[in-house]
Amino acid sequence: MSFVILDLEWNGSYSSVLHRFVNEIIEFGAVKTDSELNIIDTFSVLIKPQIGKKLCSKVKELTKITNEELFERGIPFLDAVNRFTDFSADSVLMTWGTSDIHALIENYSYFTGDARLPFLKKYCNLQAYCEGCLDLHKPSCQLGLSSCAELLGIDFSQEEQHRAFADAELSLECLKILTQVENNKPLDGYIMSVDDGFYDRMTFKTHFITDLKSSEIDKKQMKFNCNLCGRQAKRTTEWKLHNKTFSAEFLCKRCKHSFIGRISFKKKFNEVVVKKKIVEKRKNPQNSENDSAENNS
Ligand SMILES: [Zn+2]
């Protein structure tokens, strides 16, 4: 088995066809290793932009790539894909996080109308593997490549990072260290076959459910208990939608406490995340004073 660790650089290019910005890939950098993670080949190409005409200043600053370099030495995106397909052959493709895969799917479908990447048969998310080994599982805070390298005590120059090839090499260094630790999770568990389900997952967009009639909503979740006595409260108004959150007033029949219940439903690929909150009602007299003051001015 061989592995290919790929890293990309991209530029935010405005597409007049799609009327939106596209993460246009401008550089591929990759290392290929044998099953023992020894480097057996390398890959590095610049891509001549076809959607955007200029690099945005942030990308220029971060990557030190210039417009001249790209237009003189860059090759068209689909030529790079063909070369990379030959290079990676039947290797397991690895990237740090899935944003590079998203960018590849976006670029490849832009130019060919097809979302299926020809070089992607087996995939491993290195970031997920490293987070798993280091026991970091906070969904809100993902482990960056530089942070991981620092945690592992790898000596690297910040200057050289943010270039595709250097980042691919650094990802390999992290992988090597973590696979050598005894009792660490086996890498095999993180290698997946790329099938329809993989693309469904990759192209799925997390969103809020804003229709109360949706079958994804569990109606039982919309009940609220009184935050003072714990008894189930009665809803006294219709649900109102504001900023993707539903809210309604509730009244507790036992202690006469009246409050506002808020609830939102975030649809992820294989779950609906429900968030609930109780908010105390504001006192009315103060509001009317403020209103009259505003009216007078
Ligand atoms: Zn109560």
- Residue 295, pLDDT > 50, answer no
Q: Assign 110 to helix, strand or coil.
A: helix
List phi, psi (to 5°) of 130.
-65, -40
* pLDDT given at position 28: 96
- Residue 47, pLDDT > 90, answer yes
Give the Å distance between the CA of 280 and the centre of ligand 1. 13
Give the Å distance between the CA of 282 and the centre of ligand 1. 18
Residue 272 burial by Cβ neighbours in a 10 Å radius (0-12, 13-18, 19+): middle
Give the Å distance between the CA of 148 and the centre of ligand 1. 49
DSSP letter assigned to residue 270: S
**204 or 250, which is more confident?**
250
* Digit-coded pLDDT (tens) for 90-137: 999 999 999 999 999 999 999 999 989 999 999 999 999 999 888 877
Q: Assign 249 to helix, strand or coil.
A: strand
CA distance 106 to 113: 10
Percent of the chain with pLDDT over 90: 67
CA distance 73 to 58: 21
Alpha helices by DSSP H, listed for the chain, are 57-63, 67-73, 77-88, 99-112, 126-133, 145-151, 164-180, 196-203, 284-296
For strands 234-235 and 245-251, give the pairing. Answer: antiparallel
Give the Å distance between the CA of 258 and the centre of ligand 1. 8
User: Average pLDDT of 73-87?
Assistant: 96
Give the Å distance between the CA of 240 and the centre of ligand 1. 23
Give the Å distance between the CA of 229 and the centre of ligand 1. 4
Q: Which of 222, 220, 264 is nearest to 241 (CA)?
A: 264
- Residue 190, pLDDT > 90, answer yes
Please state the pTM of the whole predicted model.
0.76
* pLDDT given at position 97: 92
- Residue 282, pLDDT > 90, answer no
**162 or 285, which is more confident?**
162
Rounded-to-5 percentages of helix, strand, coil across the chain: 35, 30, 35
What is the secondary structure of 134-174 as a DSSP string? TT---TTSPPPHHHHHHHTT----GGG-SSHHHHHHHHHHH
* Digit-coded pLDDT (tens) for 60-77: 888 888 888 888 999 999
Give the Å distance between the CA of 241 and the centre of ligand 1. 25
* pLDDT given at position 167: 92
* pLDDT given at position 139: 62
DSSP letter assigned to residue 232: B
CATH class for the region spanning 3-204: alpha beta
Please report which confidence band the pLDDT of residue 178 belongs to, taking 50, 70 and 90 as the band edges: very high
- Residue 297, pLDDT > 60, answer no
DSSP letter assigned to residue 47: B
What spatial distance separates the first Cα and last Cα of the chain, rounded to whole Å?
A: 76
Are the C-beta atoms of 84 and 62 separated by less than 8 Å? no
- Alpha-carbon distances of 145 from 123, 158, 257, 269, rounded to whole Å: 18, 11, 51, 25
Task: Show me where the domains of the chain are located.
Answer: 3-204, 208-287
- Residue 283, pLDDT > 60, answer yes
For strands 234-235 and 207-208, give the pairing. Answer: unpaired
Give the Å distance between the CA of 255 and the centre of ligand 1. 4
